[in-house]
Amino acid sequence: MRLTLLGTGDAIGTPKIGCNCPACADARQGGKSQRLRFSILVESRKGKIVIDTSPDLRQQFLRQRLSGIDGVIWTHGHYDHYAGFGEFYRVQNKVDVYGIQETLDYIDQYVSFLKPRYHYVKLYEPFELIGLEFTLFKVSHPPVETPAGVVIREGDTRVVVTSDTNTEIPEKSLEYMKDPDLLIADAIVPPHIHIKKHMNSEEAMALAQKLNAKKVVLTHLSHLFRPHHIESMFLPLGYDGQVFEF
């Protein structure tokens, strides 16, 4: 199993339009503070799956030299997690997409012209794709009613993706998330800032400790962090193109 962080930015990405903060300045100079919007590529010997389709999907596919995939998993219906699906136009027809019914029905309003093949899955019920086991679990990302995180399993190896969430994750979900080899955690802002819909970096690191994660990487990051080369000395910040292999 191989995972690539295609995009590690929040909904606006870094650099933010019109901003000249230190992180945005570093991003414009080509530093690792440059962040496209959130997507993850999951690969096995049998195929490729993308978790969430960032608005920057075209650029991400070009960077990775991808010409097609075997499916998409959508975690929730926010713009920055599905809007790039339109980039499949004239590239790949009838893409297989997976998610809970509420999420797929909402996104269908915007992407139905591409005629995706919908596969409704239920929370906490494993399903197999490309020889890997995936399970969606409920997180907390108001006002979304049923946002989902993802557990990916291959043999004894487990990767947990929180997707967008605050700290109010249901106990049932926490049980499914326990003891991951890698936790990919939402951490949109530094510790001194609190946002109702997301975890900050301090909360994300506390979650990693609670789950007994062997390794953690923070993603969905805003421009409010210090430049990557500075902040990454203190926190395990992800960066675009970062690869994890198991």
What's the whole-number mean pLDDT along residues 118-142?
98
CA distance linking residue 66 with residue 56, whole number of Å? 14
**Whole domain around residue 45: which residue ranges?**
2-245
Q: What value does the mean pLDDT of the chain take?
A: 97
Residue 210 CB partners (closer than 8 Å, separation 6+) = 174
pLDDT of residue 160: 98
CA distance linking residue 107 with residue 155, whole number of Å? 32
User: Which helix (DSSP H) or strand (DSSP E) does residue 132 occupy?
Assistant: strand 132-138
Could you tell me if 238 and 201 are in contact, meaning their C-beta atoms sit under 8 angstroms apart?
no
What are the distances in angstroms from CA 62 to CA 6, 39, 51, 67? 11, 14, 17, 8
User: Length of the chain in residues, anyone?
Assistant: 246
CA distance linking residue 70 with residue 131, whole number of Å? 12
DSSP type of residue 141: B
pLDDT of residue 8: 98
pLDDT confidence bin for 242, thresholds 50/70/90: very high
How does pLDDT run across 15-49, given as a tens digit for each residue? 999 999 999 999 999 999 999 999 999 999 999 99
Does the predicted TM-score (pTM) go above 0.75?
A: yes
- The CATH number of residue 22's host domain is 3.60.15.10
Q: Is 31 helix (H, G, I), strand (E, B) or coil?
A: coil
Could you tell me if 165 and 139 are in contact, meaning their C-beta atoms sit under 8 angstroms apart?
yes
CA distance linking residue 124 with residue 151, whole number of Å? 9
Tokens of 92: 């790949």
Query: What percent of the chain is predicted at pLDDT more than 90?
Result: 99
Could you tell me if 85 and 116 are in contact, meaning their C-beta atoms sit under 8 angstroms apart?
yes
The upper half-sphere exposure of residue 8, i.e. CA atoms within 13 Å in the direction of its Cβ, equals: 27
The upper half-sphere exposure of residue 85, i.e. CA atoms within 13 Å in the direction of its Cβ, equals: 31
Tally of structural domains, the chain: 1
